[in-house]
Amino acid sequence: MLIFLVGYMGCGKSTIGRTLAKQLGVRFLDMDTLLEQRCGKSVAEIFTETGETGFRQSEREVLAELTSEREAIVATGGGAPCFFDNMETMNRAGLTVYFKMSPEKLAGRLEHGKAKRPLLRDKSEEELIGFIRENVAKREKYYMQAKLIIDCDGVRDDYIAHHIAEYIETKKEQ
Ligand SMILES: Nc1ncnc2c1ncn2[C@@H]1O[C@H](COP(=O)(O)OP(=O)(O)OP(=O)(O)O)[C@@H](O)[C@H]1O
Ligand SMILES: O=C(O)C1=C[C@@H](O)[C@@H](O)[C@H](O)C1
Ligand SMILES: [Mg+2]
């Protein structure tokens, strides 16, 4: 099965995705990493050199290539589902899972990881929570189109991984 993990920056797509892929014995792919390899630049450099428009275009191309994978866990870019018809593309190609997390929790996690994330890097500590609140509110209509929605606030990573594994099992039985 091809599984796309979606959600805001910091919700744990890469961390949990890697663990889950190991558990299920399938490949783990990270869209941001694939994009960096393809462009030979970091996400931050791609934003600086081509703007967000260029970044979203490359992101879309990476996603198009990924849809031909048969079995993998994909940690998507935090904004990927919210541009073009990307969410529809993922829903057609496989299982989509939204890691839903409150802006307060996300801000706490992202305070120290701003440098690598171009949309956050110029935000002060005070601005961060407001920006995340507004941005999540705009994006949720896309994230909520995921086939499986997991409320991740106060939930341990291993439980989230277990929940997804169980969901896949029940789908196989149907
Ligand atoms: N269970 C956890 N508890 C606290 N912090 C965590 C937990 N899991 C991950 N983090 C931290 O949250 C940050 C984001 O985690 P991760 O990179 O997995 O998120 P992501 O959804 O892939 O984000 P992005 O879309 O920016 O790639 C990291 O700095 C990581 O150390
Ligand atoms: O939420 C976003 O728009 C982003 C999330 C990251 O995964 C990267 O794809 C990039 O920093 C943009
Ligand atoms: Mg990630």
Take atom 11 of ligand 1 and give the residue whose Cα is closest: 109
Confidence band for 61, pLDDT divided at 50, 70 and 90: very high
Confidence band for 115, pLDDT divided at 50, 70 and 90: confident
Domains and CATH numbers, the chain: 2-173 (3.40.50.300)
pLDDT digits (tens, 9 = 90+) for 120-137: 999 998 999 999 999 999
* This prediction's pTM: 0.97
Counting ligands in written order, the one closest to the CA of 29 is 3
DSSP code at position 121: T
Residue 72, CA distances (Å) to 50, 57, 151 in order:
29, 23, 23
Q: How far is the CA of 154 from the centre of ligand 2 (A)?
A: 23
pLDDT digits (tens, 9 = 90+) for 1-29: 999 999 999 999 999 999 999 999 999 99
Take atom 7 of ligand 2 and give the residue whose Cα is closest: 77
Beta partners for 75? 5, 30
Q: How far is the CA of 8 from the centre of ligand 1 (A)?
A: 10
Take atom 9 of ligand 2 and give the residue whose Cα is closest: 77
Q: What is the pLDDT of residue 7?
A: 98
Confidence band for 69, pLDDT divided at 50, 70 and 90: very high
- For ligand 1, whether the C-beta of 81 sits within 6 Å is no
DSSP code at position 37: H
Q: Which residues contact 145 (CB under 8 A, 6 or more apart)?
A: 81, 87, 88, 91, 96
- Checking if the pLDDT of 170 tops 80, the result is yes
User: Residues 72, 25: contact at Cβ < 8 Å?
Assistant: no
